[in-house]
Structure 1
Amino acid sequence: MLYSFILLLFSYTFHCIYKQARQHNLSRSKGCKDAQSKAPVKDPFIGFDFIYDCLFAKPVEKYLDSTYKTFQQLGATYAYKRWTWEAVYTCDSRNIKHVLASGFDDFKLPRLRVNAMMGLLGSGIFTLNGHSWSHARGVLRPCFAKQNKESVVNMLETHFQALLRRIPNDKATIDLQPLFFWLTMDFATDFLMGHSTHVLDRASSHAKEKQFVDDYLTCSTEIVRKMQLGPLQMFSINFAAMRARSRVFRYIDDFIDASLDTKDESESTNMGCNVLQCLSAVTTDRKQLRDQILHILVASRDTTACLLSNLFFVLAKKPHIYDKLRREVVSIAGVEPATDHQLNSMEYLKWCVQESLRLHPVIPTNAREASRDTVLPYGGGEDGNSPLLIKKGNLVMYNIYAMHRDARIFGPDPEEFVPERWNGLRPGWNYLPFNGGPRICIGQKFALLETYYLVSRMVQTFETMSAVDDSEWIELYALATTCKDGVKVSLTRSN
């Protein structure tokens, strides 16, 4: 035993020396320097302050604004270092481009995020790395490419009419945010599986569907909570979330069985045109089908609902922008639902959506973990223009919210909602509402089509929209970011 212990100690010591020597050589060959700025920490060794904050501290109100101010104080890239944990935070588009594109092979999804999502959503495109991810994306890409835009628009109109039936005819105050989430859930399940949850439909109770939506939200909330706990998530057990996960899995499995039952085509509202049908042509593995559908549902439902909520929160407080947007839509499409061609010609509509995604990105922060010793091109040295060593296993946390507020790129008053700033603007890697590089959002075009169509139909239907109070936008930080206090408005229908 003594011999084994000595051998083990020697091996560990040799490994540490070899690893440090390798990192030193890499750092010297790339010209790396220490980080220009380092975030102050109370306990730089074990991190008891981090543990306390995770377990007992209240969530920071306006967290995204606090991260933006930190970058203003410490610079576009800074290190956060403890003996037990090390990360680099950046809003520098050059570093973000390197992590997502030019240095793509040096980074992977963080293990903490993967573990948090896999436990409640299974193994899908948002938890896979390497060859498994490439294969999953390769399978999914044709499923979106085969979709017929005209069929998608017709499907959207059906669910939009269900939304309208939920809105009173008078000027009563209504919160649009839950309606947008129900609408996008109904459309996403219809688009993905050929069966809609129909939670907007008042015709029946839809108890099973509403239970699914509630369980889905429980799982989403638990995922966010686990990611916030970081390395402490292994000690967190939520039995309610586990039961909700089981019900979600059963519900999706039943949907899959019904959608793939070709003996009764009337069971599907869009048979032969949904993503599940395309996936089932590639694999019959029910678990793989379920996991992939759940992951796409997170992306398609949550992000679009948050985008619509964030946009209309602002439009309701800026009647001059709403009126200008409405005039453009009506001048091109009149009062009839717009075609895909007409939507493409609505320039101001696109500017409004782009400005909402800039000011309130639905995925405002993200992260990657170094899969090997590597470097970031900027952030080191006294001027921050030297490379920065990133050790294997360390995190790079990139902040889209802060990057989108760079006045050098987006002009003066970057915290203001000004759609006209997009006239001729080409920000490149400084604008990443759908991520970038090989992992860029696979459903980006359909998300924008859905958004453009629903925004155009809203402004066609309602002549005026006004906010009921002067509250400012505060984020509800979840899998996708939306308005904490909802979107409470007063609407006047067009004649």
Structure 2
Amino acid sequence: MSVFQMYGRWLDIIVILFVFLCAKASIRYVCYWRMMRQQGCQPSCKKAFVRDPFIGLDFAYDRLFQGSPARNLKGSFDMYKRLGATYTVNRLTTQTIYTCDAANIKRLLATSFDDYKLPAVRVCVMGDLLGPGIFTLNGHSWSNARSLLRPALRKERLCGLPNILESHMQSMLRQISFKGSSLDLQPLFFSLTMDIATEFLMGYSTNMLENPDGSAQQFVDDYMVCSTEAARKMTLGPLRFLRSNSAAKQSKTRVFKYIDSYIDECLKRMETRNLAVEHGNLLQELSSAIEDRQMLRDQVLHILLASRDTTASLLSNLFFVLARMPEVYAKLRREIVAAMGDSVPDFSQLRELQYLRWCINESLRLHPVIPSNAREAAQDTVLPVGGGPDGDSPLLVRRGTIVLYHVYSMHRDPAVYGNDVEEFRPERWDGLRPGWAFLPFSGGPRVCIGQQMALMESYYIVVRLVQAFERLEPTDYKPWSELFALATTCENGVHVKMHKA
């Protein structure tokens, strides 16, 4: 074969490939056009400015040389106020959609649930940290993982929670007495929720409050290193492979080692006590259904850290504000003391405390623990609003498009919450029914499986602390700022002075 014949064949292949790609693109364009026409879609007119609209060199430069930014909740909220509730970032080959519109978020999480999946970046980064589980799986694998956890978190299983809560609350009160009136509540909340979660879910508490320098504290410290690293990697998106952190890798190894040894200890204790699985805890449910030890560890890690992080962050954010608003704390205390004095509450009493519920809701509104999230379109689909000059028309979402939704900004919609959205005002919840405009625990099929446990635990802890202390005052007057991690809490802690009742 001559050189010219060889070049001729390669040219034929290139031409055929070019024609094939053009034909494929044309077919896709016709499909998009038909779908837009059928659904009444219009292109987005709300677009964020990008310095490089072609291949995204500006994004790469910012992430690699300016450092991975924090979540910057206020900055994101300002963008929505400037551009509208739904806007896009367009480049030559990709489009990313940003939204804080309740109708769009409902479509993402519920009514068009099967049209979306977890983004590849989240699956990769979170999977590397936690292994496969409810927070990293899609489709049938996710359904199977969730079905394993659901029986152990049924409402009837919560009947044993009050005794566990009271036991560990007494440990926390002893720690507060030991540390004196001026202290940082945040680490105590994280130790408390870890102790409660491990005893309730696994049957054996880590007892971090009583043993603050033990292996459990090392586990928590290591997990925070891994959590921060995971958050930073997710901001890098497709460039995440360029980041390497040897300290985080060592921490992850210790996290897995601790969970493995912890599971061994829990199973040994259960075997010694000869407890029946049908009356047991989450670990017994999982160990009877999962033979693979690594898979068991992954499921335990997912649910354990989820139940700990969310509740501790909620409590920290709430008491950060209560210390700065003595009138709200006094009103909350009056309600609690009038209803039950200083007696140990039961769950039925907690549900009747209206102002307590308003305070919890207002904290979750102002500082949602998971303030932003994302989905990736698994197929061509449509969002109900975001297209056209006014943003009120449907918007086409092409397969592979990332849709980032911002709960933090949605919780600041003046049309729902009034013009004082930056104020902590529990009274706004009197008669307020925000529906999908309030999503502290997500929504749709992926709604938080431990929501009832988290709320009852939070109610109980708040009541016992308010009963024990007549008033709070801050000892650090820095404004609230977000901690750069997977769950949002106070970057500078919750430094307060507590005055006993």
For the criterion TM > 0.5, the same-fold answer is: yes
Query: What pairs with 1:364-375 in structure 2 (closer than 5 Å)?
Result: 364-375=371-382
**Corresponding residue of 2:142:** 133
Q: Answer yes or no: is the 8 Å Cα contact 1:193–1:255 preserved in 2.
A: no
Unaligned runs of 5+ in 2: 1-8
Letter in 2 for 1:417: F
Is residue 187 from structure 1 mapped to residue 191 from structure 2 by the alignment?
A: no
State the Cα distance separating 1:135 from its structure 2 match: 1.4
Give the alignment partner of residue 473 of structure 1, picking from 462, 476, 480.
480
- Cα distance in 2 for partners of 1:170, 1:88 equals 48
- Cα distance in 1 for partners of 2:178, 2:324 equals 21
Q: Answer yes or no: is the 8 Å Cα contact 1:352–1:419 preserved in 2.
A: yes
Equivalent position SS for 1:472: coil
Deviations 1:20-57 (A, max 9, x none): 22222212221211103000111111111111211222
**Corresponding residue of 2:5:** none
Letter in 2 for 1:337: V
Give the alignment partner of residue 386 of structure 2, picking from 379, 384, 387.
379
- Cα distance in 1 for partners of 2:479, 2:448 equals 29
State the Cα distance separating 1:250 from its structure 2 match: 2.0
**Corresponding residue of 1:280:** 287
**Corresponding residue of 1:441:** 448
Q: Answer yes or no: is the 8 Å Cα contact 2:181–2:499 preserved in 1.
A: no
State the Cα distance separating 1:239 from its structure 2 match: 2.4
**Corresponding residue of 2:66:** 57
**Corresponding residue of 1:210:** 217
- Cα distance in 1 for partners of 2:147, 2:187 equals 34
- Cα distance in 2 for partners of 1:424, 1:146 equals 26
- Cα distance in 2 for partners of 1:170, 1:389 equals 57
Equivalent position SS for 2:244: coil
Identity of aligned residues (%): 52
Equivalent position SS for 1:424: coil
Q: Answer yes or no: is the 8 Å Cα contact 1:377–1:388 preserved in 2.
A: yes
Q: Answer yes or no: is the 8 Å Cα contact 2:155–2:452 preserved in 1.
A: no
Give the alignment partner of residue 347 of structure 1, picking from 344, 354, 359.
354
**Corresponding residue of 2:273:** 265
**Corresponding residue of 1:69:** 78
Equivalent position SS for 1:369: strand
Give the alignment partner of residue 110 of structure 1, picking from 112, 119, 122.
119
Letter in 1 for 2:58: D
State the Cα distance separating 1:287 from its structure 2 match: 1.9
- Cα distance in 2 for partners of 1:273, 1:453 equals 23
Give the alignment partner of residue 47 of structure 2, picking from 38, 49, 52.
38
Give the alignment partner of residue 431 of structure 1, picking from 438, 442, 466.
438
Is residue 245 from structure 1 mapped to residue 261 from structure 2 by the alignment?
A: no
Unaligned runs of 5+ in 1: none
Is residue 96 from structure 1 mapped to residue 79 from structure 2 by the alignment?
A: no
- Cα distance in 1 for partners of 2:479, 2:222 equals 30
- Cα distance in 1 for partners of 2:173, 2:53 equals 55
State the Cα distance separating 1:454 from its structure 2 match: 0.5
Letter in 2 for 1:180: F
Equivalent position SS for 2:370: coil
Equivalent position SS for 2:177: coil
State the Cα distance separating 1:83 from its structure 2 match: 1.9
State the Cα distance separating 1:88 from its structure 2 match: 0.6
Equivalent position SS for 1:372: coil
Q: Answer yes or no: is the 8 Å Cα contact 1:89–1:398 preserved in 2.
A: yes
Q: 1:413 to 1:205 in 2, by over 3 A?
A: closer
Give the alignment partner of residue 487 of structure 1, picking from 481, 491, 494.
494
Deviations 1:192-226 (A, max 9, x none): 22222222114x842x2222112211221111111
Equivalent position SS for 1:483: coil
Q: 1:274 to 1:109 in 2, by over 3 A?
A: same
Equivalent position SS for 1:350: helix
State the Cα distance separating 1:95 from its structure 2 match: 0.6
Q: Answer yes or no: is the 8 Å Cα contact 1:259–1:277 preserved in 2.
A: no
**Corresponding residue of 2:6:** none
- Indicate the larger mover: 343-352 or 56-65: 56-65
CA RMSD across the alignment: 2.1
Instruction: Report the TM-score when normalising by structure 1.
Output: 0.94
Give the alignment partner of residue 292 of structure 1, picking from 267, 291, 299.
299
Letter in 2 for 1:289: L
**Aligned residue pairs: how many?**
490
Q: Answer yes or no: is the 8 Å Cα contact 2:322–2:329 preserved in 1.
A: yes
Give the alignment partner of residue 142 of structure 1, picking from 136, 151, 160.
151
Q: Answer yes or no: is the 8 Å Cα contact 1:96–1:398 preserved in 2.
A: yes
Equivalent position SS for 1:89: strand
Letter in 2 for 1:91: C
State the Cα distance separating 1:59 from its structure 2 match: 5.8
Equivalent position SS for 1:475: coil
Is residue 80 from structure 1 mapped to residue 93 from structure 2 by the alignment?
A: no
Give the alignment partner of residue 416 of structure 1, picking from 417, 420, 423.
423
- Cα distance in 2 for partners of 1:66, 1:205 equals 38
State the Cα distance separating 1:78 from its structure 2 match: 0.4
- Cα distance in 1 for partners of 2:68, 2:226 equals 19
- Cα distance in 1 for partners of 2:117, 2:426 equals 35
- Indicate the larger mover: 104-113 or 328-337: 328-337
Query: Higher Cα Rg: structure 1 or 2?
Result: 2
Q: Answer yes or no: is the 8 Å Cα contact 1:169–1:493 preserved in 2.
A: no
State the Cα distance separating 1:271 from its structure 2 match: 11
Is residue 197 from structure 1 mapped to residue 213 from structure 2 by the alignment?
A: no
Equivalent position SS for 1:328: helix
Q: Answer yes or no: is the 8 Å Cα contact 1:36–1:382 preserved in 2.
A: yes
State the Cα distance separating 1:101 from its structure 2 match: 0.8
Deviations 1:337-365 (A, max 9, x none): 21111101111100000000011111111
State the Cα distance separating 1:273 from its structure 2 match: 3.6
Q: 1:434 to 1:144 in 2, by over 3 A?
A: same
Q: Answer yes or no: is the 8 Å Cα contact 1:33–1:389 preserved in 2.
A: yes
State the Cα distance separating 1:259 from its structure 2 match: 2.1
